[in-house]
């Protein structure tokens, strides 16, 4: 089964730094893009639950892609 928007939960959103990502499928790759589409963060995993640290990102709106499929909006305060 592939990861879909239905089986991925990201919280808290918005967040000041840490985003918890939980999936019913294994998370292999997380890529974060800024509003222009530039990759600003990329990390490999092999987990169902991860904590994404966005400490190096400025406040703003970002888009997150998981395993190349799910695209969700996250807001960093």
Q: Specify the DSSP class assigned to residue 7.
A: G
pLDDT tens per residue across span 8-43: 999 999 999 999 999 999 999 999 999 999 999 999
Residue 1's pLDDT band, with cuts at 50, 70 and 90, is low
pLDDT (0 to 100) of residue 30: 98
- What is the C-alpha to C-alpha distance for residues 51 and 49, in angstroms, rounded to an integer? 7
- What is the C-alpha to C-alpha distance for residues 32 and 44, in angstroms, rounded to an integer? 12
Yes or no: say if 25 and 2 are a contact pair by the CB < 8 Å rule.
yes
């Amino acid at each position: 089964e592939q990861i879909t928007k239905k089986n991925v939960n990201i919280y808290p959103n918005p967040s000041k730094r840490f985003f918890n990502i939980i999936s019913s499928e294994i998370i292999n790759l997380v890529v974060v893009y800024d509003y222009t589409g530039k990759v600003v963060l990329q990390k490999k995993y092999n987990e169902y639950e991860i904590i994404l640290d966005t400490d190096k990102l400025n406040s703003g709106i970002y888009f997150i892609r998981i395993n190349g499929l799910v695209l969700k909006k996250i807001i960093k305060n």
